[in-house]
Structure 1
Amino acid sequence: MVNLFKRLRKLQTILQVKIGTGAAIFPNPTSATKEFPAVTRLHLTFANKINGGHRGARHFWRNCLPRLKYHNPGVGMTVKRIDDQNGPSALTIYFAEKAGSAATAVANEKKVTDSLAPAPEANEDSVVLDLKNRTDKEIFDRLQIMTNAKTVNATPEDVEMAKKWAAIEAKSGPDRERVKSIRQAKKDQERMLAMARGEVDKDQV
């Protein structure tokens, strides 16, 4: 049973990075167009604490970035966390050759610079997306518009596994409480026996 739960836990971990917000595939050299060139890499900068508008970037880092990396293993992704809460909360997107008009237009909605992001290579172009006061879902939605990343939908097998894990989680709550109550009852019984033998002062109960 223990091995079964270990396997299920591993499957759940894989499932968490396989589906959900951020599960999408960027254009690559074979699927790229002039408007949506291949994405070569991403760089994310945000503050260590969530105040000052950095909450969304932090959630994007935790939830979306692992899924993007899972589905785009060839795209480099770097992260810089800073102590300055007034510093940038930004996502720099690097394109092969020149960024398309959609990426430029979205980036120009709220112009921001990130001096901590690596400079583009000679064959790259980059745009910077301001992430402050935006949720991780809003960030990902804009990223999709800018890159034309294609959402990866859950397979029937993924859906079935998600349902099974949800059922296990729903059952595990009452099971944990039951085990906890059994352990507490055992402790109470041991204490009462110790009291009967005069090993415990009644005032300590």
Structure 2
Amino acid sequence: MVNLFKRLHKLKSILEVRTGTGAAIFPTLQTATKEFPPITRLHLTYAQKIYGGHQGARHFWRRVLPRLKYHNPHVPITVSPTTEQEGPAALTVYFHERLSSTAPGISGPKPVTDKYAPQPVGEEKSAVIDLKNLNYEEIWRRVQASTGAESYVPNVQDEEDLKKVADVKARGPGDRARNLAMRQAKRDQERMLAEARGEVESSKSG
């Protein structure tokens, strides 16, 4: 049973990276379109503490970036956590040769600059998304809208694994109660045996 739970925990960890918000594939040189050029890299800047509008950017780093990296291993992703609560919470998206047709509209109401983001190199063009006071789901919607990233569609095996993990999770409370009852019964049995041995020893000494 322990090995089963270990295997399911490992499976759950893999599925959490393969599926969910941010599980998507960026355009490459082979898949790019006129509207969405290839993505060359990303840079995220946010303050280490969540107040001042940085909470969503921090959650984006924790929940979304691992999935993006999993599905786009060829796209470098750098992160600059800072101590500047009044500083930028920003995501810089780097495009090959030109911006996407939607990139100019996703920066936010006011242009934002990020001194921590690397400068574009060679033919790169960059767009900066202001992340302050946005939750991570909205941040991802803006990233996807500006990059044309294609959402990963879970395959049959993924669906089966997700169902398996969900079933185990649903059974969890009952399984835990049964395990507790089994452990308690074992302790009770050991206590009774110890008491019985004690009585035998007492009768022998008497």
Bin for the TM-score computed over the shorter chain: 0.7 to 0.9
What residue ranges of structure 1 are gaps of 5+ in the alignment? 198-205
Greater CA drift, 108-117 or 36-45: 108-117
* Mapped partners of 1:122, 1:93: distance in 2: 15
Aligned match of 1:40:
40
CA-to-aligned-CA distance 1:8-47 (integer Å, 9 cap, x gap)? 2221111111111101111101111333110000011111
Which one has the largest radius of gyration?
Answer: 2
Q: What is the TM-score of this pair, normalised by structure 2?
A: 0.84
Look up the SS of the partner of 1:85 in the other structure.
coil
| 1:98 lines up with 2:98 in the alignment | yes
User: Deviation at 1:53?
Assistant: 1.0
What residue ranges of structure 2 are gaps of 5+ in the alignment? 199-206
Given that 2:43 and 2:92 are in contact with CA atoms closer than 8 Å, whether structure 1 keeps it comes out as yes
Aligned match of 1:71:
71
Aligned match of 2:62:
62
User: Deviation at 1:163?
Assistant: 1.5
Runs of 4+ residues over 3 Å off in structure 1 = 177-187
Given that 2:108 and 2:130 are in contact with CA atoms closer than 8 Å, whether structure 1 keeps it comes out as no
Q: Which amino acid aligns with 2:103?
A: A
Cα distance, 1:124–1:169 mapped onto 2, change above 3 Å: same
* Mapped partners of 2:134, 2:104: distance in 1: 18
* Mapped partners of 1:180, 1:130: distance in 2: 50
CA-to-aligned-CA distance 1:85-137 (integer Å, 9 cap, x gap)? 11111100001111123112212533211100111102211110001111111
Aligned match of 1:23:
23
Cα distance, 1:88–1:180 mapped onto 2, change above 3 Å: farther
* Mapped partners of 1:97, 1:16: distance in 2: 33
CA-to-aligned-CA distance 1:51-87 (integer Å, 9 cap, x gap)? 1111111111111111111111100001111112111
Aligned match of 2:10:
10
Q: Which amino acid aligns with 1:138?
A: E
Counterparts of residues 1-205 of structure 1 (less than 5 Å) = 1-107=1-107, 109-180=109-180, 186=187
* Mapped partners of 2:45, 2:184: distance in 1: 47
Q: What is the TM-score of this pair, normalised by structure 1?
A: 0.84
Look up the SS of the partner of 1:45 in the other structure.
strand
Task: Name the Cα RMSD after superposition.
Answer: 2.2
Look up the SS of the partner of 2:129 in the other structure.
strand
Aligned match of 2:202:
none
